[in-house]
């Protein structure tokens, strides 16, 4: 690992001041330290956020404000989260391992880098790591890669679970930088690769996530379904976060987000529009999958994700609408 200076910020203000001098922020370090060991990133300065004031979960009107330093373990164990936003707790607990969740933070989880193997191997062409070098995954081993939102430059997935639930829950990412504070709906936070895959999200240089705000609970049936190679400690091949309300036998409200499928956490309002107002049935679920996958493109080894997500969607909708009817 390249030698670096470690700076412990004791406040957000101090961290922002430090970041102005250059360097990268570190929170739990569960992703960044691996990237540094592999020389995928090699910063001269690392600014630790762990002593800043971002470690609390606080009420925000009828919603909840989760500080950027709240660990995944603490967030999933919080009684307010478990009671009112169970989708979030379920998604977090479907990710990583207990040890990692004890260390990983809300801000770090949102900013975690892709798990594309070529990104982590500095001998390989990768536009995300080394812009202009090419994309070894396109014609390579692309089993875990995206089928939606890809570009000629990059086909990597955003790998996390927590953000998929937050997307279905209409969370808002709270950000601070030298120019002040701003709020970004999570649907607008991650970037599809386009012709610049090096930037995963819309944070500007020197900006920090300070927290995530969850809006008032919906009271819907909430399901997180994660399809993966092992039953635990594995990233999603595809995942679904669903928050659905039934009224008089029809789907009255439905929020549906997907992981492992797109280059960003994926939500398509057209899919929800197919479902809302309808009586649940297999043909309706198939139609929703058809709309979702209209522009899907496989790259060989990941072609299986297309029928897989259609089946996972049908199973999840079936489970939720039966629960919602009960």
Ligand X SMILES: Cc1cc2nc3c(=O)[nH]c(=O)nc-3n(C[C@H](O)[C@H](O)[C@H](O)COP(=O)(O)OP(=O)(O)OC[C@H]3O[C@@H](n4cnc5c(N)ncnc54)[C@H](O)[C@@H]3O)c2cc1C
Residues in contact with ligand X by CB under 6 A are: 24-32, 49, 68, 95-96, 100, 103-105, 107-109, 111-112, 160-162, 208-209, 235
With CB under 5 to 8 Å by kind, the binding choice for 155 among ligand SF4, ligand X, none is ligand SF4
Nearer to ligand X, 37 or 322 (CB): 37
154 makes contact with ligand SF4 (CB under 6 A): yes
Residue 324 interacts, among ligand X, ligand SF4, none and using kind-specific CB cut-offs from 5 to 8 Å, with: none
Strands 172-177 and 208-214: antiparallel
The verdict on 160 binding ligand SF4 (CB under 6 A) reads no
Please choose, out of 10-18, 43-51, 125-133, 247-255, the segment that lies near ligand SF4 by the rule CB under 6 A.
125-133
Q: Segment 174-233, which members bind ligand SF4 (CB under 6 A)? A: 197
Give 124 or 218: the residue with its C-beta nearer to ligand SF4: 124
Cβ atoms of 210 and 68 closer than 8 Å: yes
Which is nearer to ligand X, 117 or 324 (by Cβ)?
A: 117
107 binds, among ligand X, ligand SF4, none (CB under 5 to 8 A by kind): ligand X
Least distance in Å: CB of 326 to ligand X?
Answer: 30
Q: Which residues of 296-314 are buried (b: 16+ CB within 10 A; e: fewer)?
A: bebbeebeebbebbbebbb
Q: Which residues of 58-68 are buried (b: 16+ CB within 10 A; e: fewer)?
A: eebeebbbbbb
Task: Work out whether 128 is an interface residue with ligand SF4 (CB under 6 A).
Answer: yes
Rounded-to-integer distance, Cα 189 and Cα 101, Å: 22
Burial (0-12, 13-18, 19+ Cβ within 10 Å), 229: exposed
- Of these partners, ligand SF4, ligand X, none, which one is at the site of residue 105 (CB under 5 to 8 Å by kind)? ligand X
Distance between CA 183 and CA 213 in Å, rounded? 9
d(C-alpha 7, C-alpha 25), whole Å: 9
Considering the complex, state which of residue 196 and residue 247 has its C-beta at the smaller distance from ligand SF4: 196
Binding segment for ligand SF4 (CB under 6 A), chosen from 8-16, 128-136, 292-300, 305-313, is 128-136
Of these, 85, 118, 258, 299, which contacts ligand SF4 (CB under 6 A)? 118
Round to whole Å and give the CA distance between 315 and 313.
Answer: 5
Does 158 engage in binding with ligand SF4 (CB under 6 A)? no
CB of 133 to ligand X, least distance (A): 20
Residue 256 partner contact from ligand SF4, ligand X, none using kind-dependent CB cut-offs of 5 to 8 Å: none
Q: Contact with ligand SF4 (CB under 6 A): which of 72, 114, 210, 316?
A: 114
Three-state SS string over 213-246 comes to EECCCCCCEEEEEEECCCCCCCCCCEEEEEEEEE
The answer to whether residue 116 forms part of the interface with ligand SF4 (CB under 6 A) is yes
CB 30 within 8 A of CB 108: yes
Question: Which residue do the tokens 């679970």 mark?
Answer: 161
- List of long-range contacts for 42-47, beta carbons under 8 Å, 24+ apart: 42/2, 42/4, 43/4, 44/4, 44/5, 45/4, 45/5, 45/6, 45/7, 45/18, 45/21, 46/4, 46/5, 46/6, 46/7, 47/7, 47/9, 47/15, 47/18, 47/19, 47/23
Among positions 129-148, residues that touch ligand SF4 (CB under 6 A) are 135-137
96 touches, from ligand SF4, ligand X, none (C-beta below 5 to 8 Å by class)? ligand X
Residues contributing to the site for ligand SF4 (CB under 6 A): 114, 116, 118-119, 126-128, 135-137, 154-156, 197
């Amino acid at each position: 690992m390249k030698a670096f200076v470690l700076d412990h910020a004791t406040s957000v203000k101090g961290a922002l001041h430090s970041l102005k001098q250059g360097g990268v922020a570190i929170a739990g370090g569960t992703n960044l330290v691996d990237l540094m060991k592999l020389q995928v990133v090699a910063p001269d300065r690392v600014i630790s956020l762990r002593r800043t004031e971002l470690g609390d979960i606080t009420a925000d009107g009828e919603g909840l404000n989760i500080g950027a330093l709240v660990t995944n373990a603490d967030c999933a164990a919080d009684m307010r989260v478990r009671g009112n936003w169970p989708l979030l707790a379920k998604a977090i607990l479907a990710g990583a391992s207990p040890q990692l969740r004890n260390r990983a933070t809300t801000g770090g989880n949102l900013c975690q880098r892709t798990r594309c193997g070529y990104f982590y191997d500095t001998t390989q062409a990768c536009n995300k790591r080394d812009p202009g070098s090419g994309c070894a995954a396109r014609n390579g081993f692309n089993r875990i890669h995206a089928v939606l939102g890809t570009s000629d430059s990059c086909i990597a997935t955003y790998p996390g679970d927590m953000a998929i639930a937050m997307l279905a829950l209409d969370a808002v990412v709270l950000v601070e930088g030298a120019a002040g504070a701003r709020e970004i709906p999570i649907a607008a936070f991650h970037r599809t690769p386009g012709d610049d895959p090096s930037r995963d999200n819309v944070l500007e240089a020197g900006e920090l996530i300070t927290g995530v705000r969850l809006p008032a609970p919906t009271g819907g049936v909430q399901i997180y379904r994660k399809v993966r190679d092992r039953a635990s400690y594995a990233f999603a091949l595809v995942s679904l976060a669903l928050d659905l309300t039934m009224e008089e036998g029809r789907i009255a409200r439905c929020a549906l987000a997907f992981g492992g499928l797109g280059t960003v956490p994926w939500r398509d309002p057209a899919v929800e529009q197919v479902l809302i107002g309808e009586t649940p049935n297999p043909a309706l679920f198939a139609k929703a999958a058809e709309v979702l996958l209209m522009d899907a493109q496989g790259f060989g080894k990941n072609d299986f994700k297309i029928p897989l997500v259609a089946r996972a969607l049908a199973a999840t909708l079936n489970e939720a609408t039966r629960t919602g009817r009960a």
